[in-house]
Amino acid sequence: MTLTALAPMQDVTDLAFMRVIAHYGAPDFFFTEFFRVHAQSRLEKHILRSIDENATGRPVFAQLIGEDLQHLARSATELLRHPVAGIDLNMGCPAPKVYKKNVGGGLLRDPAKIDEILGMLRQTVPGLFTVKMRIGFDDTTHFERILDLVNKHDVDLLSLHGRTVKEMYRSEVHYDYIALAARRVKCPLLANGNVTSAATAVRVLADTRAAGVMIGRHAIRNPWIFRQCREAFAQQPVTPVTLADVRGYVERLYLATRVEGLPERVHVNKMKKYLNFVGQSVDATGAFLHEMRRTETEAQLFGVCDRHLLAEPSRLFADEPYPGVIARPNCETPSADADGCSLETVTA
Q: Which residues are catalytic?
A: 93
**Do 15 and 47 form a contact (C-beta atoms < 8 A)?**
no
CB 311, min distance to ligand FMN, A: 30
The smaller minimum CB distance to ligand FMN, of residues 47 and 309, is found at: 47
- List own/partner pairs for 303-310 with CB under 8 A and 24 or more apart: 305/247, 305/250, 306/247, 308/243, 308/282, 308/283, 309/243, 309/244, 309/246, 309/247, 309/250, 309/282, 310/243, 310/244, 310/247
Helix 175-184 / helix 198-208 crossing angle, nearest 10 deg: 50
Strands 128-136 and 3-6: unpaired
The smaller minimum CB distance to ligand FMN, of residues 79 and 215, is found at: 215
Confirm or reject binding of residue 75 to ligand FMN (CB under 6 A).
Answer: no
Element (H, E) at 261: none
CB 337, min distance to ligand FMN, A: 10
CB 132, min distance to ligand FMN, A: 5
The smaller minimum CB distance to ligand FMN, of residues 277 and 288, is found at: 277
Other Cβ atoms closer than 10 A to 206: 9
Confirm or reject binding of residue 279 to ligand FMN (CB under 6 A).
Answer: no
Choice from 16, 215, 301, 325 touching ligand FMN (CB under 6 A): 215
Confirm or reject binding of residue 270 to ligand FMN (CB under 6 A).
Answer: no
Rg of the chain taking only CA atoms, in angstroms: 20
Confirm or reject binding of residue 108 to ligand FMN (CB under 6 A).
Answer: no
* Helices and strands: H and E segment counts in the chain: 15, 8
**Do 59 and 29 form a contact (C-beta atoms < 8 A)?**
yes
Choice from 4, 130, 164, 192 touching ligand FMN (CB under 6 A): 192
Task: Tell me which residues in 115-144 interact with ligand FMN (CB under 6 A).
Answer: 132
35-51 exposure pattern, b = at least 16 Cβ within 10 A, e = fewer: bbbeeebebeeebbebb
**Do 276 and 269 form a contact (C-beta atoms < 8 A)?**
no
Choice from 24, 29, 34, 137 touching ligand FMN (CB under 6 A): 34
The smaller minimum CB distance to ligand FMN, of residues 189 and 309, is found at: 189
Choice from 14, 33, 167, 283 touching ligand FMN (CB under 6 A): 33
Task: Tell me which residues in 323-342 interact with ligand FMN (CB under 6 A).
Answer: 341
Binding span for ligand FMN by CB under 6 A among 54-62, 122-130, 193-201, 250-258: 193-201
**Do 89 and 130 form a contact (C-beta atoms < 8 A)?**
yes
The β-bridge partners of 64 are 35, 89
Other Cβ atoms closer than 10 A to 141: 13
The smaller minimum CB distance to ligand FMN, of residues 93 and 309, is found at: 93
Confirm or reject binding of residue 217 to ligand FMN (CB under 6 A).
Answer: yes
CB 31, min distance to ligand FMN, A: 7
Confirm or reject binding of residue 9 to ligand FMN (CB under 6 A).
Answer: yes
Binding site for ligand FMN (CB under 6 A): 7-10, 12, 33-34, 63, 90, 92-93, 132, 161, 192-195, 215-218, 341, 343, 346
